[in-house]
Structure 1
Amino acid sequence: MKRLSIGLAGLLLMVLLAACNQEEDKKQGEERVTPVETEEATEGDIVIDKTVYGRTQPLTSTPIMVQNPGEVDTLEVENGDQVNEGDLIATIKTPAGKQNIRASRDGEIAQLSLGKGEIVSTENPLALIVDLEKIKLQFTVTNDIRSLLDKEDKLTTIINDKEYKAKVTSIGTIPDDTGLYPIEATIENKDNDLLPGMTGKLHIPEKRIDSAVIVPTEAIAEENDESFVYVIRDNKAVRTIVSIKESQSNQTAIEGDVKAGDQIVVNGQLTLTDGSKVNVVKGE
């Protein structure tokens, strides 16, 4: 009886081992499927920019001067007030009598620092009348960047995280003390969001690639001095060699056996080999 029990146990063990081996063989026979995320290759233009920084100034700034020194008798305006040409700004008591000071042009009052009873001289302006409907952006560039600019060019400009278009109005031909060339551009300030003294970040197009196949930069991998992407064809990842024409942080223009509309792997490619079966899933 004891021998019979041992024999049955051995037979059961052999059956279990055979079943496990069959299951393992089945798993090995199944092709692994890798989940990946993809994005579509596109066709378009890619522009490489140079970035420079400038500072905003009033488009025009007209000083309000007095003819004779004297004491401020009345003030009709404050900083920030809008005035029209001919509006009364202040009256000044002088030895020759009272003098009316009027606006010489339309604009906004700025840098008014005197009050009633204070003395104003003929050497310093009582205030400024500035034009803020348009803002002037001043910046300096090297000669190489200067050669990229033409009058009337409209440059993308970021000020306080908001995008504007700055039109180039002046390109200096003589460098300043730092060896850089002064450039001026104007920005429409219809909403009065811009004030003098703000910093603007300008993007100056340096190089343009027309009608290129563009893929996400993160899709490109490198190995053995070769650049490649994985293109999804028939639910398989096809390793495709490409050459890079120009690259930006997010987009890269390429040449190779890739066309607009192809699905390119952007996440999961590190575990792929040529011909790997894939399951395309959406990212977060």
Structure 2
Amino acid sequence: MRKLLISLTVILMMAFLAACMEEEDENGNESADENGEAAETLVETAEASEGDLVIERSIYGRTSPASTNPVMVENPGEIDTIEVETGDQVEEDDLIATITTAAGNQDITAAAAGEITNLEANEGDMISNEDPLAIIADFDTMSVAFSVTANVQSLFSIEDSLTTMVNDNEYETEITAVNKMPDDTGLYPVEGTLDNEDGNLLAGMIARVAVPENRVEDTVIVPTQAIVEEDDEAYVYVVNDDMEAVQTTVTIQESQTDETAIESDDMQEGDEVVVDGHMVLTDGGVVDVVEGE
């Protein structure tokens, strides 16, 4: 009986040790293969580069037509005929409508080229000379307006060309106005224009412009994903010629979502840094570099 208990105890201990070793492997620690050599950890890498890192600030605004021209009548009267509909494209001097007034018939023509909007009157309606019959809007070129603080206002200059995102589409915005006087909200209006050749931009869309705020020159740049921060220390794993991941301490200069500027005496342009799989690595661990999706 005693021998049976001892045998069962030994079996339970062996099972417990095997479970612990399996759990250790699942947590990413290195285990030995059949030859007693350290197992490789699958990782993805990216090259470190050298250059300037521009830190950008995102500013949000809204789009509007670059120009709008109201269609006005000289004298009040009754609409005899309407030659256009909302959404029609007109050229300058195109006939919009004919009005019967006390002074006789009056032809209403387009003062500029563009698209007819806000046309709500119908033939036979009476119209005054105080409200526009319609609006002619230029949607080929759109305007975008921002309201910013004094500190951000100093980041803009007239004729700057800035990247703008609207509905995941990228456009180039040329800054046309940087006001030095605040509006009623205490913010400073900034305006720009962007081409709408594809016709996807509508009035009132949210636009995000990226304005350069800072620049770090002649620095080593790595993907932000490669940075590991622990105990007030930052480091990356650099893969050497022996396919070992060397933990390398770095100093972060500036960081963005995609890229980070660093300082390190042990790194240079072209070094392969681990960007995926580094959370289970240890210094000197053997790696196998695979391609990402």
TM-score (norm 2): 0.83
Compare CA radii of gyration and give the structure with the larger one.
1
Task: Quote the Cα distance in structure 1 between the aligned partners of 2:279 and 2:73.
Answer: 75
Identity %: 52
Q: CA deviation at 1:162?
A: 0.6
Residue equivalent to 1:17: none
Residue equivalent to 2:114: 107
Task: Quote the Cα distance in structure 2 between the aligned partners of 1:132 and 1:157.
Answer: 17
Q: CA deviation at 1:32?
A: 4.2
Task: Quote the Cα distance in structure 1 between the aligned partners of 2:184 and 2:97.
Answer: 40
Determine if the alignment matches structure 1 residue 141 to structure 2 residue 148. Answer: yes
Pair 1:193–1:279, CA change in 2 (3 A): closer
Pair 1:283–1:189, CA change in 2 (3 A): closer
Residue equivalent to 2:245: 237
Q: CA deviation at 1:201?
A: 1.3
Determine if the alignment matches structure 1 residue 270 to structure 2 residue 282. Answer: no
Residue equivalent to 2:262: 254
**Which sits farther off after the overlay, 99-108 or 142-151?**
99-108
Contact 2:61–2:206 (8 Å) recurs in 1: yes
Deviations 1:123-166 (A, max 9, x none): 10111122222111111111111000100011111112111011
Contact 2:99–2:105 (8 Å) recurs in 1: yes
Residue equivalent to 2:23: none
Q: CA deviation at 1:110?
A: 1.5
1:50 counterpart letter in structure 2: R
Structure 1 SS opposite 2:279: helix
TM-score (norm 1): 0.86
Task: Quote the Cα distance in structure 2 between the aligned partners of 1:36 and 1:196.
Answer: 46
Which sections of structure 2, spanning at least 5 residues, go unmatched?
A: 1-31
Determine if the alignment matches structure 1 residue 279 to structure 2 residue 283. Answer: no
Task: Quote the Cα distance in structure 2 between the aligned partners of 1:271 and 1:128.
Answer: 63
Runs of 4+ residues over 4 Å off in structure 1: 25-29
Q: CA deviation at 1:27?
A: 6.2
Which sections of structure 1, spanning at least 5 residues, go unmatched?
A: 1-24
Structure 2 SS opposite 1:270: helix
Contact 2:33–2:39 (8 Å) recurs in 1: no
**Which sits farther off after the overlay, 142-151 or 213-222?**
213-222
Task: Quote the Cα distance in structure 2 between the aligned partners of 1:85 and 1:36.
Answer: 63
Deviations 1:4-44 (A, max 9, x none): xxxxxxxxxxxxxxxxxxxxx99695344333222221223
Q: CA deviation at 1:61?
A: 1.1
Task: Quote the Cα distance in structure 2 between the aligned partners of 1:32 and 1:191.
Answer: 54
Residue equivalent to 2:94: 87
For 1:202-213, what aligned pairs fall within 5 Å after superposition? 202-213=209-220
Task: Quote the Cα distance in structure 2 between the aligned partners of 1:222 and 1:85.
Answer: 63
Residue equivalent to 1:43: 50
Deviations 1:91-126 (A, max 9, x none): 111122211111122222111110101111011011
2:83 counterpart letter in structure 1: E
1:245 counterpart letter in structure 2: Q
Match of 2:71 among 64, 73, 87: 64
Deviations 1:61-110 (A, max 9, x none): 11111111111000011112222222211111112221111112222211
1:265 counterpart letter in structure 2: V
For the aligned residue pairs, the C-alpha RMSD in angstroms reads: 1.9
